[in-house]
């Protein structure tokens, strides 16, 4: 007939071991859950930062594109895009407001010469000969200056996007680093739980079994 005392001791030993295993498993699950929660939070932060960067990039896109276009137009006026492009850019100015301004200026000069009796003098002829080239040069300078304003806006916008991109990369890198730290900490915690479990349960189990045997 089984010894009641021995049966109770065996049950106690099994219960002790089982309780230790359940406790270690609960600790392991808790550590894994905490790590998963931290990883989810980090990924949500990364996604939100990327969303904000995309939104800012979309807002600044028209300015950066305008800056690129104006820089190209400046290069054409300076001849940096080739003589054909320069000639086309200058011709575009000549066919615009230039003709009207030139006609108005010449009429004003002729009227003034007629009023002062200088219609047949060499001064009026020289002034008329120089007027259109000077006017065209002035329009080219004005156009270049106007384009320069757009170029500066585009440059500032591009610099803002670049700075935001660098900041985003730094923030995302930090989040990934936090995720790596959480994973490493979880691995260490899991190892410590197993180490503690074996250190605490094995001597207790051996002692219980020895007591049952002897």
Residue 120 has pLDDT above 50, yes or no: yes
| Cα distance between residue 194 and residue 10, in whole Å | 24
Averaged pLDDT for residues 139-150 = 93
Q: How confident is the model at residue 150 (pLDDT cuts 50, 70, 90)?
A: very high
Q: Where exactly are the structural domains of the chain?
A: 4-213
Tokens 């990883």, located at residue:
39
pTM: 0.61
pLDDT at 11: 45
Q: Which of 109, 179, 83, 98 is nearest to 136 (CA)?
A: 98
- The SS3 call for residue 163 is helix
Residue 15 has pLDDT above 50, yes or no: no
Q: Are 194 and 21 within 8 A, CB to CB?
A: no
Residue 12 has pLDDT above 70, yes or no: no
Q: Are 67 and 150 within 8 A, CB to CB?
A: yes
pLDDT at 87: 92
| Cα distance between residue 138 and residue 97, in whole Å | 12
Higher per-residue confidence, 134 vs 36: 134
Residue 148 has pLDDT above 90, yes or no: yes
DSSP 82: -
| 178-204 confidence digits (pLDDT tens) | 877 777 787 777 777 776 766 665 555
Strands (E), the chain: none
| 69-95 confidence digits (pLDDT tens) | 999 999 999 999 999 999 999 988 888
């Amino acid at each position: 007939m089984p010894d009641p005392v021995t049966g109770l001791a065996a049950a106690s030993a099994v219960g002790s071991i089982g309780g230790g295993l359940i406790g270690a498993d609960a600790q392991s699950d808790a550590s894994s859950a905490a790590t998963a929660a931290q990883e989810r939070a980090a990924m949500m932060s990364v996604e939100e930062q990327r969303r904000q960067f995309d939104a800012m990039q979309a807002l600044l896109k028209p300015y950066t594109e305008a800056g690129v276009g104006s820089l190209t137009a400046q290069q054409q006026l300076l001849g940096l895009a080739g003589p054909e492009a320069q000639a086309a850019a200058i011709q575009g100015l000549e066919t615009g407001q230039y003709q009207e301004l030139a006609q108005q200026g010449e009429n004003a000069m002729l009227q003034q010469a007629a009023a002062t009796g200088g219609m047949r003098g060499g001064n009026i002829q020289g002034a008329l000969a120089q007027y259109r080239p000077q006017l065209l040069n002035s329009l080219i300078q004005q156009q270049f200056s106007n384009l320069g304003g757009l170029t500066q806006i585009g440059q500032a916008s591009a610099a803002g996007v670049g700075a935001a991109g660098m900041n985003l990369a730094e923030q995302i890198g930090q989040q990934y680093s936090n995720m790596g730290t959480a994973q490493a900490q979880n691995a260490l915690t899991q190892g410590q739980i197993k180490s503690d479990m074996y250190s605490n349960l094995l001597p207790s189990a051996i002692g219980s079994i020895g007591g049952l045997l002897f």
